[in-house]
Amino acid sequence: MNKQLDILVYGSLNMDFVAFLNNLPKKGETLSAKEFSMIAGGKAANQAVAASRLGSSVGMVGRVGADYLGEQLLMALKQEGIITDQVKSTPNCNTGIAMVSVDEFGNNMIVTDKGANAFLSKEDIKDSEELLRASKAVILQLEMEQDVAEYIIRKARKNKKYIVLNLAPIVPIDPEVLAMVDLLVVNETEATQLSGIYVNEFSSAKVAAQEIHTKEIENVIITLGENGALLSFPSAIEHYLPPKVTVVDSTAAGDCFVASVTSFWIRYGDLGKAVKKAVEVSALSVTKKGAQSSLPTLQEYENFIVKETTQ
């Protein structure tokens, strides 16, 4: 492969079955949806699409089932210009799915089935090494087997790539491997689990970030929902607030943030500037429904910022 890539994303591809409701169901309650959509998703696929729409060249490594849903997910990635040579079809296995309920305030509840995502293997990572060598940065999450994630991190470090780890869902990664990560991105819940400090606002996030630094991770971001994001270095902490928007659906906001901060970090070489822009892009994403359907293009983001600054 001769083409250089900005970002290589490893991980999950799901088809999201999304129900929009007035309220999220209580235990034992049956509700009728106001609207239903089937939308391409999966944390890794969302991140790949978000980065591509922001102008980065992107490759994807993952697995789908040998079924109609898998074909649709692959088609969606190809239409975004993402290199899919290493997204493999898995015989006798269903494509990963997510069942998503979204209330009128944009809050959600999600149940997933890994399906073919569970079969992403070290052999797949070896097979995709040419893409790794061609890339500047890698993004991964933990919707895969832990040993596979650790293998990816070790291989990326050996190849001297920027490593962005979205520790979601959180699992007990080998401390030696965790210390190889260039940028760790966690939300409040994940930061709480990783640090042992309950995080629910900026001041507690600051304390948690300092605790996470003791694990030899230099750059830590804790996303704070409507309160933006905290960027922490061992010697300094910065807080970036998002513009005020009307939240419609927050399903892929976290994935949008991870992809955006990676894209802008590679582009500008300034992590603070990257986080500021990623917070803004993520705010724009929650104004639209769905996972990949909500992810803004670079032009949409630039138009949004112009509008914000002229109001």
CATH number at 162 reads 3.40.1190.20
End-to-end CA distance of the chain: 47
How far apart are the C-alpha atoms of 23 and 29, rounded to whole Å? 11
**Dihedral in degrees, nearest 10, Cα atoms 263, 112, 21, 73:** 60
Please report the pLDDT score of residue 310 as a whole number. 66
DSSP 75-91: HHHHHTT-EEEEEEEET
Please report the pLDDT score of residue 194 as a whole number. 93
pLDDT in tens, the chain (311 residues): 557 899 999 999 999 998 999 999 899 999 999 999 898 989 999 999 999 999 999 999 999 999 999 999 999 999 999 999 999 999 999 999 989 898 888 888 888 899 999 999 999 999 999 999 999 999 999 989 999 999 999 999 999 999 999 999 888 899 999 999 999 999 999 999 999 999 999 999 999 999 999 999 999 999 998 899 999 998 899 999 998 898 887 778 999 999 999 999 999 999 999 999 999 999 999 998 877 888 999 999 998 887 776 66
- The one catalytic residue among 6, 182, 249, 255: 255
Note whether residue 48 is domain-resident: yes
Task: Give how many domains the chain has, as a whole number.
Answer: 1
Please report the pLDDT score of residue 248 as a whole number. 84
> Given its phi and psi angles, is residue 83 left (phi above 0), alpha (psi -120 to 50 degrees) or beta?
beta
Note whether residue 44 is domain-resident: yes
What range defines the domain where residue 10 resides? 5-23+33-310
Note whether residue 28 is domain-resident: no
Note whether residue 56 is domain-resident: yes
Note whether residue 113 is domain-resident: yes
* 127 part of the active site: no
